[in-house]
């Protein structure tokens, strides 16, 4: 492994004006542009969630009208899915780390990378416009014929916004695929790649293959709304169920876009926190690829009671059970990695362990939903809401934050306050469980989702959930605070404060413009931590 290069200007010092940022082609600066934008959208979507939880403290709809409530949860879903979760790890950590981890100077297509960011911003502007001009009330799933023929809200604006941001996803994925295929340093064979890079590769494949389907589906909704006719229109003999097939064909792989990068991050955090090689590297790789591939085959499990045939339900059920196998392998392998390790419990490790636990809980409830006979009762209830929040929030968001903390010294050249970070991580774990565990119970007791008002028997659990949400909100604001504070006042970081393995740690903190003065030569696999 190469040692640290002599001090050069860091990428942060290559120009200071707005133009040097908005016109950059440096993958590291683009990653930061994304980070700023998605943080904005995260808190916006979080605000919508806070208002939803506020309304749900009482059974009556006394905080806002039904229409406003419907717009609130729709906005929360649209923003969190497309403007936070899907870009979060790939566009920030992925963009920053991918070239560093494979020993490259930048992405294959740096200007396309910047263009992807502008597409994200463009899509974001349409979505904000939608919010400011009245909002949309269809749910983030836009089911027809409600979205095409009945909703009086600003469906077109949000459809355009999501359409545009989809292209951001596609071009990011394209960039990743080409970069990983053609720009690995000499000696970095496929099975020497860090698992984070594998997860970026898998995610890129899913982004590139699934997102076009979303784009066309949204375009078809848009056309139907504009012209009053379309292929989802039952009055013409068209089929509203066709929409659901198209939509979920994208949206199920989309949830793997949200979780695969998180899994990649967690593998990096755990190996560094344990100072040990990952247990079962090859199985972990096969699991990542397996999840990505089988993820395209299970979309019908969102449609068991939709009017889809009983036989289709059977096929989608077995596939959905099988996709749990690679996820289980990963959970077991992460746990086994702890064996004979040398474990420290800094914030990134706490986030990683939190991920493993919460992802496991969320994933197990996926089995309940894969069982068609149970799904009949549980679908469209708070059980599903809890299930996906466990994975997306307890999973992906925690992994994202863990990654941000872990690579913060590399990205910013500063150290954050470990005490505050540990506190926030633990607070988040408790706040999260208090918010979402009651929702499992609410679901199996029959409370449907997307309900503005509910029957009084569901109130106690709703109050618990809303209380948890308050704690969770605080635990998200804390990192915003102490991380930003560290930019000015944090101690300066060395090249490798965690003494971690990985090519990114052989560069200065922060790295210079083109990362490596000389292309590194790789002669071993990842996570080469020495035995004590």
Partner 1 sequence: MNASAGHLREQFDDSVQQREASTLGMWTFLATEVLFFGVLFAGYAFCRVIFPDAFAEASRHTDMLLGTLETAVLLSSSCAAALAVREVQLGGRRVATWLLLITAALGIAFLAMHGLEYVAEYREGLIPGIRYTQHGPHAASMQLFFCLYYFITGFHGLHVSIGVGLLLAMAWRTHRGAFDQDYHTPLELTALYWHLVDIVWIFVYPLIYLVGRAA
Partner 2 sequence: MIGLPQASGFAGRVDALFDTLLALSGVVVLGVFAVMIWFCVKYRHGSAADRHGESHRHLGIELAWTLIPMAMFIGLFAWSVKLWVVLRTPPADATPVYVIAKQWMWKVQHVGGQREINTLHVPLGQPVRLVMTSQDVIHSFYVPAFRVKQDVLPDRYTELWFTATQAGNFDLFCAEFCGTDHSRMGGSVVVQAPADFAQWLQAHAGTGLAAQGAVLFRRFGCSGCHDPHSGVHAPDLDGLYGSTVPLDDGSQVRADERYLHDSIMLPQLQVAAGYAPVMPSYQGRIDESDVLALVAYLKSRSTHPEIVDEYR
**Site for partner 1, residues 177 to 196, rule: CB under 8 A:** 177-179, 181-183
In whole angstroms, how close is the CB of 25 to partner 1 at the nearest point? Answer: 9
If phi over 0 gives left and psi between -120 and 50 gives alpha, with beta otherwise, what is residue 114? alpha
Q: Does 307 bind partner 2 (CB under 8 A)?
A: yes
Instruction: List the single partner that 242 binds among partner 2, partner 1, none, CB under 5 to 8 Å by kind.
Output: partner 1
Cβ closer to partner 1: 227 or 339? 227
Residue 514 sits in the site that holds partner 2 (CB under 8 A): no
459 lies in the site for partner 1, by CB under 8 A: no
**Residue number, 230 or 508, with CB nearest to partner 2:** 230
135 touches 154 (CB < 8 A): yes
Beta strands in 107-175 (DSSP E): none
Cβ nearer to partner 1, comparing 208 with 361: 208
* H/E run at residue 382: helix 382-389
Answer for which of 5, 14, 67, 239 binds partner 1 (CB under 8 A) is 239
**Nearest distance in Å: CB 384, partner 2:** 11
Binder of partner 1 out of 187, 228, 448, 524 (CB under 8 A): 228
Q: What's the chain's Rg over C-alpha atoms? A: 23
Q: Which residue, chain included where needed, has tokens 């007791």?
A: 445
* Residue 7 tokens, joined: 């001090």
Q: DSSP class of residue 515?
A: S
Q: Any contact of residue 452 with partner 2 (CB under 8 A)?
A: yes
**Cβ partners under 8 Å of residue 112, min gap 6:** 171, 174, 175
- Please report whether residue 148 would count as binding partner 1 according to CB under 8 A: no
Contact assessment for residue 244 and residue 302, using Cβ atoms and an 8 Å cutoff:
yes
Q: Which of 201, 400, 432, 454 binds partner 2 (CB under 8 A)?
A: 454
User: CA 389, CA 477: separation in Å to the nearest integer?
Assistant: 19
The reply on whether position 62 binds partner 2 by CB under 8 A is no
Question: How far is CA 337 from each of CA 126, 226, 279, 284, rounded to the nearest angstrom?
Answer: 45, 55, 5, 12
Neighbours of 492 (CB within 10 A): 11
Give the whole-angstrom CA distance, residue 35 versus residue 329: 31
Site string for partner 1, 160-179 (x = CB under 8 A): ----------x---xx-xxx
Binding-site partner at residue 208 among partner 1, partner 2, none, CB < 5 to 8 Å by type: partner 1
Minimum distance from residue 282 beta carbon to partner 2 (Å): 8
Report 62-101 residues binding partner 1 (CB under 8 A): 99
Q: Does 371 bind partner 2 (CB under 8 A)?
A: yes
**Which residues from 118-147 bind partner 2, rule CB under 8 A?**
137-139, 143, 145-146
Using CB under 8 A as the binding rule, whether residue 219 contacts partner 1 is answered as: yes
Question: Among residues 11 and 451, whose Cβ is nearest to partner 2?
Answer: 451
* Closest distance to partner 2 from the beta carbon of 324 (Å): 6
In the 8-state DSSP scheme, what is residue 352?
A: H
Contact with partner 1 (CB under 8 A) among 212, 446, 494, 497: 212
Closest contact distance (angstroms) between CB of 249 and partner 1 is: 8
- The answer to whether the beta carbons of residues 333 and 279 sit under 8 Å apart is yes
What gap in Å lies between CA 473 and CA 455, rounded to an integer?
A: 26
Determine phi and psi for 24, rounding to 5 degrees: -75, 155
């Amino acid at each position: 492994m190469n040692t640290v290069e002599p001090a050069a200007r860091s990428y942060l010092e290559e120009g200071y004006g707005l133009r040097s940022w908005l016109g950059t082609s440096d993958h590291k600066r683009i990653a930061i542009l994304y980070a700023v934008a998605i943080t904005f959208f995260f808190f916006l979507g979080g605000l919508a969630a806070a208002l939803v939880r506020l309304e749900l403290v009482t059974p009556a709809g006394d905080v806002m009208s039904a229409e406003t409530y419907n717009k609130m949860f729709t906005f929360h879903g649209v923003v969190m899915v497309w403007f936070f979760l899907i870009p979060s790890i790939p566009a920030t950590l992925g963009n920053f780390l991918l070239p560093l981890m494979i020993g490259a100077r930048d992405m294959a297509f740096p200007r396309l990378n910047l263009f992807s960011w502008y597409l994200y911003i463009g899509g974001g502007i349409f979505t904000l416009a939608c919010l400011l001009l009245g909002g949309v009330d269809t749910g983030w799933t836009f089911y027809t014929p409600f979205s095409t023929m009945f909703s009086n809200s600003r469906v077109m604006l949000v459809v355009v916004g999501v359409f545009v941001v989809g292209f951001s996803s596609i071009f990011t994925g394209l960039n990743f695929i080409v970069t990983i295929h053609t720009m690995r340093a000499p000696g970095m064979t496929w099975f020497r790649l860090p698992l984070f890079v594998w997860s970026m590769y898998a995610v890129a494949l899913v982004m590139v293959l699934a997102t076009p389907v979303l784009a066309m589906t949204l375009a078809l909704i848009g056309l139907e709304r504009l012209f009053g006719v379309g292929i989802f229109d039952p009055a013409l003999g068209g089929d509203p169920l066709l929409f659901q097939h198209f939509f979920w064909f994208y949206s199920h792989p989309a949830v793997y876009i949200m979780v695969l990068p998180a899994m990649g991050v967690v593998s990096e955090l755990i190996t560094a926190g344990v100072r040990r090689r990952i247990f079962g590297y090859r199985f972990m790789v096969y699991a990542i690829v397996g999840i990505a591939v089988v993820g395209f085959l299970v979309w019908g499990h969102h449609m068991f009671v939709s009017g889809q045939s009983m036989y289709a339900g059977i096929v989608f059920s077995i596939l959905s059970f099988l996709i749990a196998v690679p996820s289980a392998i990963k959970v077991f392998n992460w746990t086994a990695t702890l064996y004979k390790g040398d474990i420290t419990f800094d914030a990134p490790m706490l986030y990683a362990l939190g991920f493993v636990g919460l992802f496991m809980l969320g994933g197990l409830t996926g089995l309940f939903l894969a069982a068609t006979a149970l799904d009949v009762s549980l679908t469209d209830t708070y059980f599903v809401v809890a299930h996906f929040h466990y994975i997306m929030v307890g999973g992906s968001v925690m992994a994202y934050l863990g990654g941000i903390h872990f690579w913060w010294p590399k990205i910013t050249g500063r150290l954050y306050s470990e005490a505050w970070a540990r506190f926030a991580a633990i607070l988040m774990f408790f706040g999260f469980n208090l918010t979402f565990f009651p929702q499992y119970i609410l679901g199996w007791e029959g409370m449907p989702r997307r309900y503005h008002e509910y029957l009084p028997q569901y109130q106690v659990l709703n109050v618990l959930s809303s209380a948890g949400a308050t704690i969770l909100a605080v635990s998200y604001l804390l990192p915003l605070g102490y991380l930003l504070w560290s930019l000015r006042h944090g101690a300066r970081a060395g090249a490798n404060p965690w003494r971690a393995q990985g090519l990114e740690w052989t560069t200065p903190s922060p790295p210079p413009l083109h990362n490596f003065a000389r292309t590194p030569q790789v002669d071993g696999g990842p996570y080469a931590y020495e035995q004590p």
